[in-house]
């Protein structure tokens, strides 16, 4: 497939080698307008906004992924395979499964369990374990230490289902030490590994189902700035 694609109107060279991917297009817009200099809109097909600008003088892009593994699967695949992107850092939100997590805590996904059938396309003779890029994970972790940000590193669940018919599903994953649940990391990791590229998913806790607490949509859009800044610093160090 050539570019532009059916999902991305950007031209060759429009994306930096590292792309930050929030799920929400408005969060992508907020990051571009708040943190990037000389940012320009390079994609707006279906409202999936993508921007490229500079952070501390180094080119960085930010583009929404949409919700769920099918959506991030499309956009990350195209960025890796058609646009020459080397690194994607998902900066999303997640629901806490670990009782040690509270609202606004930051989780870095070393691995991504999933109930998705995404890996079936590879026809592997076994169960594939989607994992983060070690380089991205260690760079982000070191950056958080420098910024005095407490980051929890471990396993997350990438779920295909937001409203589950299994009322005990979260408890089962919690019993296996899974820190949080989100909906994109596993597909991102598989696309990166298949393409020989790098990926990391970091999430700010937006709700704690076992504690009955949650953030608002506006807070998720504009208040996860510690995670955003740590991801941007990581982007210019790799």
Answer whether residue 220 is part of any domain: yes
Q: Is residue 11 part of a domain?
A: no
C-beta of residue 99 within 8 angstroms of C-beta of residue 44: no
pLDDT of residue 155: 98
Whether the pLDDT of residue 223 is over 80: the answer is no
Residue 98 is classified by DSSP as S
d(CA 77, CA 194): 9
Which domain CATH number covers 159? 3.40.50.1580
2 pLDDT above the threshold of 90:
no
Active-site residue set: 207
Taking phi over 0 as left and psi of -120 to 50 as alpha, with beta for the rest, 111 belongs to: beta
Count of CB atoms within 10 A of residue 165's CB? Answer: 6
Overall average pLDDT of the 172-197 stretch: 98
Residue showing tokens 């709700």:
207
- DSSP code, position 162: S
Give rounded-to-5 percent helix, strand, coil for the chain.
35, 30, 40
Percent of the chain with pLDDT over 70: 99
Q: Is residue 45 part of a domain?
A: yes
Average pLDDT across the chain, whole number: 96
- Total of domains in the chain: 1
d(CA 9, CA 198): 23
What does the pLDDT average to over 195-207? Answer: 97
How far from 115 is each of 18, 58, 74, 154, CA to CA, in Å?
28, 38, 18, 17
- The CA distance from 234 to 68, in Å, is 24
Confidence band (pLDDT; 50, 70, 90) for 218?
A: confident
- Note down the domain range covering 26: 18-235
* pTM, 2 dp: 0.96
pLDDT above 80 for 1: no
pLDDT in tens, 109-132: 999 999 999 999 999 999 999 999
Cβ-based neighbour number of residue 146 at 10 Å: 9
- Tell me the mean pLDDT in the region 57-73: 98
User: Does pLDDT of 167 surpass 90?
Assistant: no
Q: Where are the alpha helices (DSSP H) in 36-68?
A: none
* Structural domain includes residue 33: yes
Residue 132 lies in a domain: yes
What distances in angstroms separate CA 114 from CA 105, 131, 145, 150, 203, one per listed residue? 22, 12, 29, 25, 16
Is position 3 within any domain?
no
Closest by CA position to 188, among listed 101, 105, 111 = 111
* SS3 state at 59: strand
Mean pLDDT over residues 40-59, rounded? 97
70 falls within a domain? yes
Would residue 8 count as lying in a domain? Answer: no
């Amino acid at each position: 497939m050539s570019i532009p694609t059916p999902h991305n109107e950007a031209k060759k060279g429009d994306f930096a080698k590292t792309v930050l991917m929030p799920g929400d297009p408005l969060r992508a817009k907020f990051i571009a307008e708040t943190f990037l200099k000389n940012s320009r809109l390079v994609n707006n097909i279906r409202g999936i906004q993508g921007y490229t600008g500079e952070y501390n003088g180094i080119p960085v892009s930010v583009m929404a992924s949409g919700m769920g593994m099918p959506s991030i699967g499309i956009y990350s695949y195209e960025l890796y395979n058609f646009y020459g992107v080397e690194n994607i850092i998902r900066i999303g939100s997640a629901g806490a499964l670990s009782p040690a997590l509270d609202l606004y805590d930051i989780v870095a996904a070393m691995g991504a369990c999933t109930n998705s059938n995404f890996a079936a396309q590879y026809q592997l003779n076994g169960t594939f374990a989607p994992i983060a890029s070690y380089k991205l994970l260690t760079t982000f972790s070191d950056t958080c230490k420098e910024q005095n940000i407490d980051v929890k590193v471990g396993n997350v669940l990438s779920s295909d289902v937001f409203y589950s018919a299994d009322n005990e599903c979260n408890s089962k994953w919690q019993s296996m030490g899974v820190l949080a649940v989100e909906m994109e990391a596993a597909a991102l990791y598989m696309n990166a590994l298949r393409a020989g590229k790098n990926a990391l998913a970091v999430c700010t806790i937006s709700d704690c189902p076992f504690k009955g607490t949650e953030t608002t949509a506006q807070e998720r859009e504009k208040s996860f700035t510690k995670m955003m800044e740590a991801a941007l610093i990581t982007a210019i160090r790799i």
